[in-house]
Structure 1
Amino acid sequence: MLSQSPVMSGPFPSFDDRTFSSPLSHFQEWFKCAVAKEVLEPRSMVLATYDQTHLVDSRVLVIKAMDDEGFFIESGKGRTKVEQLKENSHVAMNFYWREQGRQIRLQGKAVEVRSEDFKHVRDYLDAKTRDLAVYKVIPDRMEFYQALEQGGYERMLYTKENNKWLTSWL
């Protein structure tokens, strides 16, 4: 039954091979395209963490906002992910936009931010009216994946070295 199900069926956009000074700028371009093409739930992503026993955990979340450094997420303060982030701030995130054959994977750190540190995105957060933990996920690695119409894929990787973003094709 699995082998009979469709996989990565297009039509898909081509991979825009421009490089950006930051993968967050690249993300914004792809996000605008996803919204314009009516991708379902473009802000949804999977956040992976792990606990003190090194068991990996993941869940679907919604990014609430972003700035030039990273993505903002929120959580109830008593949630498992908050305890896991206190133990280890390293995370992975994965956006998957099936309608476009696009995936964006990132690795980085989730840093808890105080209310004075998210004033510039406050209007987008529920924390302005509820007592929530707010984290900024700051990537140090981001990969952009584009399924190709004729099969296969193209991938571009951004890695941060000495506070500068480097790009390479995979």
Structure 2
Amino acid sequence: MDISDMRRDFESEGLDLDALDANPATQFANWFGHARDAGILEPNALSLGTAGQDGQPNLRTVLLKYFDETGFVFYTNYGSRKAKELEANPRAAMLFPWIALNRQVIVQGRVEKVGKAESLRYFASRPRGSQIGAWVSEQSQVITSRGLLEQKVAEIKQRFHDGEVPLPSFWGGYRVVPERFEFWQGRPSRLHDRFEYLKNEAGWTIQRLQP
């Protein structure tokens, strides 16, 4: 299927250095607010890139649950494919594709587990069905039928029917600690504006990249 003629020009205001905040976390918060206010569906959805010892990159969509100057937090099963890759190679890349605004943001850095107390606070805020789902799924493992999942759901519901669902020992959060940001603003004729923040001992260096 030839889809080479699928294209549109990006009509949007430009992005200049003097319009950027010196702190990339603040700049991200500004753009995230714009995406949320624009009504973009799940603006916290991101593509998470990881690679294990074999060097094979993997991608999946996850939801960002918290961010500040210390990093970007998401949650998962510690037995999942992404978790095993992060154990072998604790580095990751995040891509936020806010296409409706002709924008995207890339965040790259090292990855660390969040503390148990932080994971517990978030887990306690989840709907009960999602809490049960965390107990049920051996994420990324092969299963022969959906019926087996549904059977496990019934078992877990029965197990915790008379109380709160506790935090599983095999489930929790990761924080991507940024070392590089890229803010991308689409422009006409593919002459996009791209600015890169690089972490250094003094703080952050900002530089424009060619489109």
CA distance in 1, matches of 2:61, 2:27: 22
Distance 1:87 1:151, change over 3 A: closer
Alignment gaps of 5+ in structure 1: none
Instruction: Say whether the 8 Å CA contact 1:47–1:59 is kept in structure 2.
Output: yes
CA displacement at 1:124 relative to structure 2:
9.0
Match of 1:15 in 2: 15
Pick the structure with more strand per residue: 1
The 3-state SS of whatever aligns with 1:4 is coil
CA distance in 1, matches of 2:122, 2:83: 20
Match of 1:25 in 2: 26
Match of 1:104 in 2: 105
Residue 165 of structure 1 aligns to which amino acid in structure 2?
A: W
The 3-state SS of whatever aligns with 2:4 is helix
Aligned-CA RMSD value: 2.4
C-alpha deviations, 1:2-48, integer Å up to 9, x for none?
Answer: 122124x4443442642323211100000101111112221111111
Instruction: Say whether the 8 Å CA contact 2:10–2:189 is kept in structure 1.
Output: no
Instruction: Say whether the 8 Å CA contact 1:76–1:133 is kept in structure 2.
Output: yes
**Higher Rg of the two aligned structures:** 2
Determine which of 131, 138, 146 is the counterpart of 2:185.
146
Residue 15 of structure 1 aligns to which amino acid in structure 2?
A: L
Percent of matched pairs sharing the same residue: 26
CA distance in 1, matches of 2:123, 2:52: 31
What is the aligned length? Answer: 167
CA distance in 1, matches of 2:37, 2:43: 11
List 4+ stretches of structure 1 deviating above 6 A: none
Q: Does 1:82 align with 2:121?
A: no
What is the TM-score of this pair, normalised by structure 1? 0.86
Alignment gaps of 5+ in structure 2: 132-164
Match of 2:3 in 1: 2
Distance 1:158 1:99, change over 3 A: same
Instruction: Say whether the 8 Å CA contact 1:64–1:72 is kept in structure 2.
Output: yes
Whose RCO is larger (CA < 8 A, sep 6+)? 2
CA distance in 1, matches of 2:13, 2:33: 13
Determine which of 157, 165, 168 is the counterpart of 2:196.
157
The 3-state SS of whatever aligns with 1:2 is coil
Instruction: Say whether the 8 Å CA contact 1:13–1:100 is kept in structure 2.
Output: no
The equivalences for 1:96-135 within 5 A come to 96-116=97-117, 118=118, 122=122, 126=126, 130-131=167-168, 132-135=171-174
CA distance in 1, matches of 2:16, 2:67: 22
CA displacement at 1:135 relative to structure 2:
0.5
Residue 55 of structure 1 aligns to which amino acid in structure 2?
A: Q
Match of 2:54 in 1: 53
Distance 1:123 1:52, change over 3 A: closer
CA displacement at 1:90 relative to structure 2:
1.0
The 3-state SS of whatever aligns with 2:40 is coil
C-alpha deviations, 1:128-156, integer Å up to 9, x for none?
Answer: 96432211111100000000146421011
Instruction: Say whether the 8 Å CA contact 2:116–2:172 is kept in structure 1.
Output: no
